[in-house]
Structure 1
Amino acid sequence: MDNQTPDFVDQDAFTLDQALVEGVMREGAAWARPGLEQYGRWITRPDIIAAGFAANRWPPVLHGLDRQGRRQDRVSYHPAYHQLMRHALEAGLHAAPWREPGTGAQVARAARYYLHSQVEAGHCCPLTMTFAAVPVLQRYRPDWLGKVLALAYDGDDKPPERKPGLTLGMAMTERQGGSDLRANTSRAEPQRDGSYLLRGHKWFMSAPMSDAFLVLAQAPAGLGCFLVPRWWQGGRNGLELQRLKDKMGNRSNASAEVALAGAKGWLLGEEGRGVHTIIEMVALTRFDCILGSAAGQRQAVVQAVHHARHRKAFGERLIRQPLMRRVLADLQLEVEGSLALGLRLARALDDSTVPGEAALVRLGTAIGKYWVCKRTPQHAAEAMECLGGNGAMEDFITARLYREAPINAIWEGSGNIQALDVLRVLDSNPDALAALRGELTPVLAAFPRLGRTWRALEPLLKHPAPELARHVTERLALLWQGAILARGAPEGVARAFIDSRLGEGGLTFGTLAPGCDLELLLGRALAGD
């Protein structure tokens, strides 16, 4: 059709993403390249793209009661959702680094998750929760690990003993408290067999068709974390689904309000230590929020640059229009920083036994969750604008990316929670700041703007005031992103990022610092396309 952009299909989305290729090599997962190239081709197949649209277009449906009034508490999904879930679990997105830990295992999984999320973000929620629950299960309920780590998916509504593989969800927040988990009022009553009966209500239960959940409830000695299976002894386990949330984004994933009607559960850890127990899972879900947001940014850039390379306006292709070039280059620059931070955190997960790396994960997930997720809505809006009117239409993925963009900033603790968590880690864990300082020090001399920004920030880190939490977190995020790029990306990318984000760049995309290498950035957006 005259002057309309062809579909972006049947490409190698891995090889075309130069920042991803370099990041995977830099962070220790070069061995994974052949599989990632195969995955990059899979995500651009027309049938897989269509499955992403279908899963989002036809959201899950709650079947609370049958026609005779008997409880069903079942959620049904479009077949496309199950298709994407099956491929993801068979590819090990929920389990690969736990099944085969080693050099680059987390990095390879992060890269694959980043690619997979570009197809459709909603169904990645149960993948993330299953992945994030494994360390908790390893510590307290290893008997569940066999099927949780299995590379198999069964979306049928039946007991776990009849399934080849299992997925996990979680239920933490309640209507009266939200992020204030200490305000939870659901009760856990101890039983003679060592189990507990849970009674109360949860305002958000993520992925309610999962096979088991990590649930917070008040035990006699305080808030506890409990493993609650959806089925127990052949019947449903007192989890009564009241309604599904009608969300602006994340449409393919069900989020439910649930009554705990005497649900059977088993304590993980100790009574009174529930938040401490579940925080390890939450840290890993926040990590995936970073990857998912970076993936949304990447898909937005792909669509915007592909469109600009084919669409003509005012006698010239958009990609040659000076102002559009600056916008597109700036959008790509944001992806460079977001992805670099995510993959660096993945390497820290791989090296968590190395002194300082575990502390870096604890601090870095809060920093990255705050900044990368918060930048994504503006990024999605700018990319959508690059497509003009088409970008706002629901049959273009940019509209879905825009609706999806705020979700990761809210899920697993919104901005204020993350920023205050950064201050909490800085105050309680000196190793975290030392580890971050170690990331910055080698490049401060070569990039003076980084050095000046760091020296201005350091005094605030000694006793950071709560009202400065957002400022401190933003500066740390930009410093760390700049340092990662300075150590591993082409110099032109690093200088463009540091000068634009910490120097003379403006407040909207397209206002890069003077002297940025636009040709370099645009070439990296879709290498060789």
Structure 2
Amino acid sequence: MSSALPAFETHQVTNQPPPFAGRNLWADDVALVDAVQRHAGGAYRDVLARYGGIAGDELYRLGFDANRDKPRLRTHDAQGHRIDTVEFHPAYHQLMTLAKRHGVAGLSWHDGGPGAHVARAALSYLHHQAEAGTSCPLTMTHAAVAVLRQDPALAEWADKAAAPHYDWRDVPIADKAGITLGMGMTEKQGGSDVRSNTTRAEPQADGSYALVGHKWFFSAPMSDGFLVLAQAPGGLSCFLMPRRLPDGNRNAFRLMRLKDKLGDWSNASSEVELCGAWARRVGEEGRGVATIIGMVMMTRLDCMLGAAAEMRMALVQALHHARHRSSFGTRLCEQPLMTNVLADLALESEAATCFALRVAAAVDQAAHDRHQAAFARIATAVGKYWVCKRAAVFVNEAQECLGGAGYVEESILPRLYRQAPLNSIWEGSGNIQCLDVLRALAREPQVLAALEQELAGVTGMEACFDAALAALRAQLADVPDQTQARAVTERLALLLQAAELLRAGSPLAPVFIRSRLGAEHGMAFGTLPADVDFAAVLARALP
């Protein structure tokens, strides 16, 4: 067969990897499968395998369209009526439909069996790999159920938030089988300091409240309802504010603009004016932060899961490319320096995934196990800080494995790189998490006991781990001051990741401990010791 090119054709395409889509993200991920089984989620394997196939194919393809065409705000219709509508690419609604249908926002609530929170966490992890922007409304919808269930009068809201149905129509919730929920916490003058919020909640004769104020970040503004913090006569309180009133009229708030964000392009984030918006209180007056604390733990867990998911997708993109691309006569994945980089990324990714699922297991058991509740309390803050902090540099390293191909929009990597900083900022930035760690260590003795039980349970397996744990115990003999908060939180994160790898029997545990705790590692990825079995690490990372 002749290889001659037709007239005016200058080249043949060679040495390029095949398209990535068409993989099952669940079946490909040995560490995820093992973690779900280890933490009592094995009953949901079929559900996860089904969604893993969807995420690695249909969701993956839809994500490109949903991010290419950003949401648009329409404040008025053609006749001049105020409508405050956000228009999305149809792919966004398809992504949300598939996610809700398969339990990404509600499995842990409408099923509720042992391991349900672990399985829901794994669903979120799979979804986020393919499309991260829709994870924002899905996460808020899931987490809000924990708040709404505190009030029996809000059962319809809680049940429809958990239901496996998505309905994008802008109509009252009575006309819907399933709903989504957003949040309105942040104001210009306060940021993370929500106690400085100035939005007023004015009591009405019927027991409702009228909200007046400005919200600087108002997430997912086309949601059916929003949990909002505002100052009531008794202090900062939590409120449920519907988008549509029961009579079908719009509630009294205005979308002022959509935020022009670095990433998260498929999802709309807005700025709003509350103009006497109708709302009902959730929880006691003056107890707004305490009311939403369960929601915050779950959204922070999803930040950790999202960062781990971004690492995982970046890793498999780099591996896929390196296995099909040759340079200087040798496949990239067989070149020693590239192999070291890829193996180092695989270590980081597996540790992040295992730790995130361990925290999900603690959340799953927190309602009936005080030790697990105390562990979830601190591990969520530790993991939210460390895993999210690692994501951006991780994704950039994976981009470099592809060279220029990782910097153009035909690849998912530019989108991951824009997305990676978000989880470290949203729901309390790094300093907020580290201060929360210090607060828990200083004021909650049960937290220290939970940490000791978690870490001491794997001593005697790796001398390097034992030495690092002894050093941490000495450091915590006196509660560290703020200047040491990041150092302590980082050390806790590495030890907790190492402990989970040891408990899981992962073959990567000794290498992780030597490199992360034993100082056999440089500042950059790709600096693992030369005696590591790199081929075995990469074979485990992606079949």
Do both proteins adopt the same fold according to a TM-score greater than 0.5, normalized to the shorter chain?
yes
> What residue is the counterpart of 2:180 in the other structure?
167
Letter in 2 for 1:357: Q
- Corresponding position: 1:236 with 2:236: no
- Corresponding position: 1:479 with 2:495: yes
Name the SS of the counterpart of 1:520 in structure 2.
helix
Deviations 1:461-494 (A, max 9, x none): 231211111111100000000000011132x300
TM-superposed CA distance for 1:50, in Å, is: 2.1
Name the SS of the counterpart of 1:235 in structure 2.
coil
> What residue is the counterpart of 1:357 in the other structure?
372
Deviations 1:340-363 (A, max 9, x none): 111101111221111210111111
- Corresponding position: 1:124 with 2:164: no
> What residue is the counterpart of 2:326 in the other structure?
312
> What residue is the counterpart of 1:39 in the other structure?
51
TM-superposed CA distance for 1:206, in Å, is: 0.5
Name the SS of the counterpart of 2:130 in structure 1.
coil
Alignment of 1:296-375 (within 5 A): 296-352=310-366, 353-375=368-390
Deviations 1:215-259 (A, max 9, x none): 001111111110100111311111200000001111111000000
Deviations 1:32-65 (A, max 9, x none): 22222222221222x4322110001111110112
> What residue is the counterpart of 1:226 in the other structure?
239
Name the SS of the counterpart of 1:44 in structure 2.
helix
Letter in 1 for 2:532: C
Cα distance in 2 for partners of 1:166, 1:18 equals: 34
Equivalent residue for 2:286, pick from 247, 261, 272: 272
Name the SS of the counterpart of 2:380 in structure 1.
helix
Cα distance in 2 for partners of 1:379, 1:36 equals: 26
Cα distance in 2 for partners of 1:513, 1:186 equals: 55
- Corresponding position: 1:134 with 2:121: no
Name the SS of the counterpart of 1:237 in structure 2.
coil
Cα distance in 1 for partners of 2:512, 2:157 equals: 45
Cα distance in 2 for partners of 1:15, 1:483 equals: 25
> C-alpha root-mean-square deviation of aligned residues, in Å?
1.2
Cα distance in 2 for partners of 1:235, 1:332 equals: 52
Deviations 1:112-148 (A, max 9, x none): 1111111110011111001101111111232422322
Cα distance in 1 for partners of 2:324, 2:159 equals: 49
Mark the runs of 5 or more structure 1 residues left unpaired by the alignment: none
Cα distance in 1 for partners of 2:171, 2:206 equals: 24
Cα distance in 1 for partners of 2:474, 2:280 equals: 46
Cα distance in 2 for partners of 1:377, 1:61 equals: 27
Deviations 1:347-389 (A, max 9, x none): 1122111121011111111001000000000000000010000
- Corresponding position: 1:489 with 2:505: yes
Letter in 1 for 2:516: R
Letter in 2 for 1:280: G
> What residue is the counterpart of 2:539 in the other structure?
523
Contact 1:101-1:350 at 8 Å conserved across structures: no
Cα distance in 2 for partners of 1:99, 1:432 equals: 30
Letter in 2 for 1:157: D
Name the SS of the counterpart of 2:312 in structure 1.
helix
Contact 2:319-2:542 at 8 Å conserved across structures: yes
> What residue is the counterpart of 1:470 in the other structure?
486
Deviations 1:482-519 (A, max 9, x none): 000011132x3001111111121111111114432212
> What residue is the counterpart of 2:453 in the other structure?
438
- Corresponding position: 1:508 with 2:524: yes
Contact 2:170-2:244 at 8 Å conserved across structures: no
Cα distance in 1 for partners of 2:276, 2:91 equals: 34
Mark the runs of 5 or more structure 2 residues left unpaired by the alignment: 1-12
Deviations 1:370-427 (A, max 9, x none): 0000000000000001000010001100111111100100000100001101111112
Alignment of 1:37-436 (within 5 A): 37-45=49-57, 47-140=58-151, 141-232=154-245, 233-352=247-366, 353-436=368-451
Contact 1:188-1:218 at 8 Å conserved across structures: yes
Name the SS of the counterpart of 1:202 in structure 2.
strand
TM-superposed CA distance for 1:455, in Å, is: 1.5
TM-superposed CA distance for 1:269, in Å, is: 1.1
Letter in 1 for 2:443: S
Cα distance in 2 for partners of 1:35, 1:273 equals: 38
Name the SS of the counterpart of 1:387 in structure 2.
helix
> What residue is the counterpart of 2:7 in the other structure?
none
Name the SS of the counterpart of 2:229 in structure 1.
strand
Cα distance in 2 for partners of 1:487, 1:515 equals: 23
Q: Which moved more, 1:294-303 or 1:355-364?
A: 355-364
Contact 1:14-1:115 at 8 Å conserved across structures: yes
Cα distance in 1 for partners of 2:68, 2:444 equals: 45
Cα distance in 1 for partners of 2:172, 2:155 equals: 19
Structure 2-normalised TM-score?
0.95
Equivalent residues, number: 525
Deviations 1:264-311 (A, max 9, x none): 111111121111111211111000011111110000011000100000
Structure index of larger Rg: 2
Equivalent residue for 1:13, pick from 19, 25, 28: 25
Letter in 1 for 2:72: V
Q: Which moved more, 1:441-450 or 1:259-268?
A: 441-450
> What residue is the counterpart of 2:6 in the other structure?
none
Cα distance in 1 for partners of 2:444, 2:250 equals: 43
Name the SS of the counterpart of 1:43 in structure 2.
helix
Contact 1:102-1:350 at 8 Å conserved across structures: no
Letter in 2 for 1:421: D
Cα distance in 1 for partners of 2:102, 2:63 equals: 17
Name the SS of the counterpart of 2:455 in structure 1.
helix
